Amino acid sequence: GIPSLPHTAADVHFMSGMIHHHAQAVLIARWVPTHGASAELQRLAERIVVGQNDEIALMQNWLRDRREPVPDGHAGPMKMKMNGMDHEMLMPGMLSDEQLKQLDASRAIEFDRLFLRFMIQHHEGAITMVNELFGSPGAGQDEVVFRFASDVYADQTTEIDRMEKMLAARSQDD
């Protein structure tokens, strides 16, 4: 095949960061069956778990093939070295520890509402990451990265629309 264009630090940062980002979505989507969520939400969460687990594997393989460090797909913050110091970094839209605790403590309709609100925030963060990637000179030229980032943008935009409708249907009748 045609040798792919050299990948950039921004490509690696995007693929690594998106593994952490997806891992958190999978983590909270797995709470759905145990927190009294609606059947509709359970279907959405199932799709998120399956889709994002597949994408985590794709990103890990891409990094491995390029002999880059491969995050293990746990849901914690991304550890970055800056000036020889370890820094923890949450990717855009990722839930804080407080938000995770709040979601885990909620049940039934309250869980549905929080889950949708937080997952919309989470998906919007993924879109920010795609925009940052494509805004970096020379980034997103690798065919796999380009296709994956474009898919994330399309899929998550569609899911945000769907979740906003679901959230509106569950809005409080004050």
How far is residue 41's CA from residue 93's CA, in Å, rounded to a whole number? 20
Q: What are phi and psi of 150, to 5 degrees?
A: -65, -40
Q: Please say if the pLDDT value at position 1 is more than 80.
A: no
Least confident of 3-17, 47-61, 81-95, 157-171: 81-95
One-letter amino acid at 115 equals F
Q: Sorting pLDDT into bands at 50, 70 and 90, what band is 2? A: low
Question: pTM value?
Answer: 0.91
Pair of tokens at residue 93: 């839209």
Coil, strand or helix: which one is 19? Answer: helix
User: What pLDDT is attached to residue 75?
Assistant: 72
Residues in CB range of 14: below 8 A, 6 or more apart:
129, 130, 132, 133, 139, 140, 145, 149
Q: pLDDT digit string (tens) for 110-135?
A: 999 999 999 999 999 999 999 999 99
